[in-house]
Structure 1
């Protein structure tokens, strides 16, 4: 038995997905995006560590060349950024691990943890560099 055109239902219009631009950025959203960016940056930084290790295995002169690059103001800035990315990504991973246990998922708690991730990454980065300079005696 066929349905008449009047009784046939037309397909429902599907709702459109909202684009990110309609949302006001929250600290948890921002830290999630930064976590992904720092993860990508760590790939680049790890290549620098590999370059340094390979230089150490090739020759003393090549190692001195690579150390000279890393010791320049630009090299130190890149290494400082790598250190921050490493600390931020690590703390973001800990934050996600805590969430995986079902803890800290409330809106205000999650926001506080996200702010703590940001502050902690800055403090740890500065502490690592201060200790490093003190250990070098420079």
Structure 2
């Protein structure tokens, strides 16, 4: 049986990144990040129920620079996934499929998620968080 030369499917390196491609990948990645971040939330809740020593351990991690970075990323993931989910609801209704609209809404999702994250952290620190 002879080997048949078949065309190879293009790899991601061939494609020029487009806003819809980037937002789709980021939506999936933030979904995974939210799942992993929920483990941190679970750890915190279990620590509260377990007593002061367990809570102090979790509190120490969360208040560290790395813990704050994880919480910031979790916050951004939450807002990005929310905003892009709203965008998907419009798509489910058959709205916003024109290329200029897809580009605008994609950029709006990115900007809105960053703005909402920063506002949340500014308010939280302003309240003494």
Aligned residues: 125
- Name structure 1 gaps, 5 residues minimum: 1-13
Q: How big is the shift at 1:17? A: 4.2
Partner of 2:84: 92
TM-score (structure 2 length as normaliser): 0.90
Secondary structure at the counterpart of residue 79 of structure 1 = helix
Aligned CA RMSD, in angstroms, stands at 1.6
Could you tell me which of 31, 37, 50 is aligned with 2:23? 31
**Distance in structure 2 (CA, Å) of the matches to 1:84 and 1:57:** 27
Alignment map for 1:1-138 (pairs within 5 Å): 17-136=9-128
Deviating above 4 A after TM superposition, structure 1's stretches of 4 or more consecutive aligned residues are: 14-17
Q: How big is the shift at 1:16? A: 5.8
State the Cα deviation string for residues 33-87 of structure 1 (Å, max 9, x = none): 0110111111110000000000000001211221111001110011000100111
Larger-gyration structure (1/2): 1
